[in-house]
Amino acid sequence: MTHEERQSRRLLVTGGAGFIGSNFTRYWCDRYPEDRVVVLDALTYAGNLSNLEGLADSGNFRFVRGNICDRPLLETLLAEENIDTVAHFAAESHVDRSILGPDAFIQTNVVGTFTLLEAFRNHLANRSEVDRCRFLHVSTDEVYGSLDPDDPPFCETTPYAPNSPYSASKAGSDHLARAYYHTYQVPTVITNCSNNYGPYHFPEKLIPLMCLNILLGKPLPVYGDGQNVRDWLYVIDHCCALDAVIHRGTLGETYNIGGNNEVKNIDLVRTLCRLMDEMAADLPVKPSETLITFVKDRPGHDRRYAIDSTKLQTSLGWEPSVTVEEGLRKTVQWYLNNEAWWKPLLSEEYQSYYAQMYG
């Protein structure tokens, strides 16, 4: 189907003011300006309206502040906007915070996903045309647990073995999405992605944390021995994959999305130091690699993640287009250009959290 031949969609994007959700919303509004896009976000600490700046100028965009646990709000939105596609990003997503306070992760990731699925199931029962309807559940590779150095990458049939309250809550939400397809025929599709990076990433996560600490001349905390391996996926590549899954994915299926970029944490941090030394003017400490500080490892820290995206590549024709070097260079440049975006995020609450995590 060509771009001109496709029918327009009416999307509800949950968590659309967060990191991946806002990048997806921007991607979708740019690629499909004929579609109606409604963002629902509770604007917790990691949700940021400035991530969506400029989109309100479009007559096809609407922002609603609200929580996915609010069933009456969900049912009202689905009905009045005649939603046919849900892109579900809303989640508590930081492992460290899940260790400090797991309650919010169970509430948002499990109860919230259940509430959203129930509301969408009820909504579909009142629609005459449901063939094109979709419920995209966006999840993580962390549900699969940890890999040894020589293990093959995670595939869609890898048994679930979550090791943190965060990954356990996401595993629970995955199982709910799968069950709603098999029990109630809710048209769900599940994706499990590797570590994303790129613009609009809240500074608690590894890459923005390192970029901002280098700019501020602060220590660069690296857990344990720094040998933990992650597969890095540039967020726009992820958005392209989700586009393919929404339009061509098979209902009830799971698709793994990876960047084919396995990197040890310590090597990633050293690459960021090199790029910042090259690209940033007047750094307070240079070379910035001297700021690297090894800190006590996090409890239950998974050693290695890696994703096998063969199913997605062969069935839907997607593949990552951005190498980790290219993506990191773009990301560093974005943070250098957008101090007005990240500086207000370094709030008193963030500083308190930072001190609790890294001393």
> How far is Cα of residue 32 from the mean position of the Cα atoms in its chain?
21
Separation CA 218–CA 34 (nearest Å): 45
For residue 308, count CB atoms less than 10 angstroms from its CB and return exposed for 0-12, middle for 13-18, buried for 19 or more: middle
Separation CA 27–CA 50 (nearest Å): 16
142 tagged catalytic: yes
Give the list of residues 6+ apart from residue 245 with CB closer than 8 angstroms, or none.
136, 189, 191, 255, 312, 316
144 tagged catalytic: no
Q: List phi, psi (to 5°) of 21.
A: -60, -40
Strands 254-257, 10-14: pairing is unpaired
- Find the catalytic residue in 35, 41, 141, 204: 141
- Find the catalytic residue in 35, 144, 166, 262: 166
Beta strands in 106-187 (DSSP E): 134-140
- Find the catalytic residue in 84, 92, 142, 174: 142
Nearest-Å Rg of the Cα atoms of the chain is 20
Separation CA 81–CA 10 (nearest Å): 7
Strands 262-264, 229-234: pairing is antiparallel
166 tagged catalytic: yes
Decide: helix, strand or coil at residue 324: helix
Separation CA 222–CA 297 (nearest Å): 8
Separation CA 174–CA 154 (nearest Å): 16
Strands 229-234, 195-197: pairing is parallel
Question: Which has the closest alpha carbon to 307: 251, 255, 248?
Answer: 255
Question: Which has the closest alpha carbon to 36: 63, 10, 4?
Answer: 10
Q: Which residues are catalytically annotated?
A: 141-142, 166
